C-alpha cells in the first residue's frame, strides 16, 4: 500500500475508506511507512484513522507508537481472523439487514457512533441503511458481536452461491475485498474471473482463520446500534 489518499464520496453511500485501489494494483518496488517513511516488508502493519475512514501503512515502531485505543488519531488494525461457524442468522434476518447483494461487512464507527453496513460494488465501498431492529435482533442471538473492536474489526458475511460464512475480520481485509471487486468487475454481472477471485479470497481467508476460543469481551466492544 502506498501513501495516504483523500476520502472519496461513493455513489449510494457516505464517505468510504480511501485508496481501495491500493490492494489490487502492482506493488511498488519498496513500500514505505506512511508515517515515518521507513522501508516496509511485504507483510506490514496497518492503521486506520477513524475520523477520515482512511487506512495507512505503518512500520512496527509506528504501529506501536501511534496505534492507540479510542480517542486517538490512529488505531492499529489487528491481524486476527476468526471463522464464526456457529453464528446464528436466518435468511429472513439477512434480508432484514437491507443488503442488496450476498456480501457485506458491519463495523462500529466511533466517530459516527453507530454500526455501519458496507458492501462491495463496481463503484467501490457502498453503504446500506441498517435498520435498528434488524441489527438488535441479530445482536440478541449472537452476543459474541460485543467482541468486535470498534473501527478496526468487522463482521464479514459471505452468502454467495449458498455459502453461509461469517468472519470476525480486520477492517483492512474487508476493504481488500472491496478493492478486488472494484478493480475486476466486468460487464453487468462482474464476469467469471471476478467471481473466481472472490472465491479464492474467501478460501484464503478461511485458511488463515481460526475458530474462536471462548474469548473474553473487550473493553471497547460493539454495542447494539441504539447505544452510544
* 37-68 pLDDT, tens digit each: 999 988 899 999 998 888 999 999 999 887 66
Instruction: Supply the DSSP symbol for 146.
Output: G
Query: Is pLDDT above 50 for 8?
Result: no
pLDDT band at 16 (very low <50, low <70, confident <90, very high): low
**In 63-222, at which residue ranges do the beta strands (DSSP E only) sit?**
75-76, 82-83, 103-109, 114-121, 124-128, 153-158, 165-170
Q: What are phi and psi of 189, to 5 degrees?
A: -105, 0
Query: Is pLDDT above 70 for 27?
Result: no
* 146-163 pLDDT, tens digit each: 999 999 999 999 999 999
Instruction: Name which of 173, 37, 163, 48 is nearest 105 in CA terms.
Output: 173
Beta bridge partner(s), residue 82: 168, 210
From the CB of residue 103, how many other CB atoms can be counted at a distance below 10 Å? Answer: 21
Distance, in Å, from the CA atom of 151 to the CA atom of 171, rounded to the nearest integer, reads 8
According to the model, what pLDDT value does residue 18 have? 52
Q: What are phi and psi of 32, to 5 degrees?
A: -130, 155
User: To 10 degrees, the CA torsion angle through 83, 118, 50, 65?
Assistant: 30
* 83-126 pLDDT, tens digit each: 999 999 999 999 999 999 999 999 999 999 999 999 999 999 99
Q: What is the spatial order of strands in the sheet that 45-49 belongs to?
A: 54-58, 45-49, 75-76
Distance, in Å, from the CA atom of 157 to the CA atom of 42, rounded to the nearest integer, reads 27
Cell of 60: 512496527
- Name the percent of the chain in helix, strand, coil, to the closest 5: 30, 25, 45
Say whether 139 sits in a helix, a strand or coil. Answer: helix
pLDDT band at 212 (very low <50, low <70, confident <90, very high): confident
pLDDT band at 4 (very low <50, low <70, confident <90, very high): very low
Distance, in Å, from the CA atom of 48 to the CA atom of 72, rounded to the nearest integer, reads 10
Which residues, 6+ apart, have CB-to-CB distance to 51 below 8 Å? 73, 111
Distance, in Å, from the CA atom of 54 to the CA atom of 18, rounded to the nearest integer, reads 5
In this prediction, residues 23-38 reach a mean pLDDT of 76
Say whether 215 sits in a helix, a strand or coil. Answer: coil
The answer to whether the CB of 17 falls within 8 A of the CB of 53 is yes
Amino acid at each position: 500500500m502506498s501513501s495516504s489518499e483523500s476520502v472519496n464520496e461513493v455513489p449510494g453511500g457516505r464517505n468510504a475508506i480511501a485508496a481501495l485501489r491500493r490492494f489490487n494494483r502492482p506493488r511498488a518496488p519498496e513500500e514505505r511507512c506512511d508515517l515515518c517513511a521507513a522501508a516496509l516488508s511485504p507483510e506490514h502493519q496497518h492503521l486506520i484513522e477513524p475520523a477520515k475512514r482512511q487506512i495507512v501503512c505503518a512500520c512496527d515502531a509506528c504501529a506501536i507508537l501511534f496505534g492507540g485505543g479510542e480517542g486517538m488519531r490512529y488505531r492499529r488494525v489487528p491481524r486476527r481472523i476468526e471463522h464464526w461457524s456457529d453464528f446464528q442468522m436466518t435468511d429472513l434476518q439477512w434480508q432484514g439487514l437491507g443488503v442488496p447483494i450476498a456480501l457485506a461487512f458491519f463495523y462500529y464507527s466511533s466517530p459516527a457512533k453507530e454500526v455501519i453496513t458496507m458492501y462491495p460494488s463496481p463503484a467501490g465501498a457502498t453503504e446500506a441503511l441498517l435498520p435498528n431492529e434488524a441489527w438488535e435482533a441479530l445482536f440478541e442471538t449472537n452476543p459474541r458481536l460485543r467482541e468486535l473492536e470498534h473501527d478496526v474489526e468487522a463482521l464479514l458475511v459471505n452468502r454467495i452461491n449458498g455459502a453461509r460464512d461469517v468472519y470476525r475480520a480486520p477492517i483492512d481485509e474487508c476493504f481488500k475485498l472491496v478493492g478486488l471487486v472494484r478493480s475486476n468487475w466486468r460487464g453487468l454481472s462482474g464476469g467469471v474471473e471476478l467471481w473466481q477471485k472472490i472465491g479464492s479470497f474467501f478460501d484464503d481467508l478461511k485458511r488463515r482463520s481460526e475458530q474462536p476460543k471462548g474469548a473474553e469481551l473487550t473493553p471497547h466492544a460493539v454495542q447494539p446500534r441504539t447505544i452510544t
